[in-house]
Amino acid sequence: MTDVTDQGRHGALHARVRLHLAGRDQRYTRNHRNLVEVLAEADNPLAVPEILSVQPELPQSSVYRSLAVLADADVVHRVLGAGDQLRFELTEELSGEHHHHLVCERCGLVADIATSPRLEQVLAEASRLAVLETGFEVSSHRLDLIGVCAECATG
């Protein structure tokens, strides 16, 4: 596979991804680029079958291999959905937005949820307490709220 150029709608994103991959001695292939674009356009983390529904021309085995490379290069983040199904999204550094997740334990939906400054202050305080109580050094946080989505609750 050959490297692709950083053109198009997500040019700045592609340039940053290329740097992440170069730092791991990996090339930014067409498959990597297609996956980054699918994830950049998604409203929530996607499972492999959802990625393939958007990019059906990609071989499933290539999607798994490319996602592993992108995860190792800190381009994508793995999100555990209901039933231990892995989903993928761009890292916060690349997406430019800090958020958390709502996970439906019935249908497996994983939805992004933006948090208020007040909630982020509470999470920062919880992190501070964890450091005081355990000596663990916190570098970031993630919050997944697990329950039942509105559609499953009414259905």
CA geometry: angle at 149 spanning 40 and 50, to 5°? 35
Q: Please write the tens of the pLDDT for every residue from 10-69.
A: 789 999 999 999 999 999 999 999 999 999 999 899 999 999 999 999 999 999 999 999
Closest CA to 38 of 73, 2, 75, 1: 75
Query: What's at 80, amino acid-wise?
Result: L
- Please give the DSSP secondary-structure letter assigned to residue 30: H
In which band, very low, low, confident or very high, does the pLDDT at 6 lie, cut at 50, 70 and 90?
Answer: very low
All domains of the chain in start order, with CATH: 1-94 (1.10.10.10), 98-155 (3.30.1490.190)
Mean pLDDT of the chain: 88
| pLDDT value, residue 5 | 47
pTM of the model: 0.78
Strands (E), 11-81: 76-80
| Region of residue 113 (left: phi > 0; alpha: psi -120 to 50; beta: else) | beta
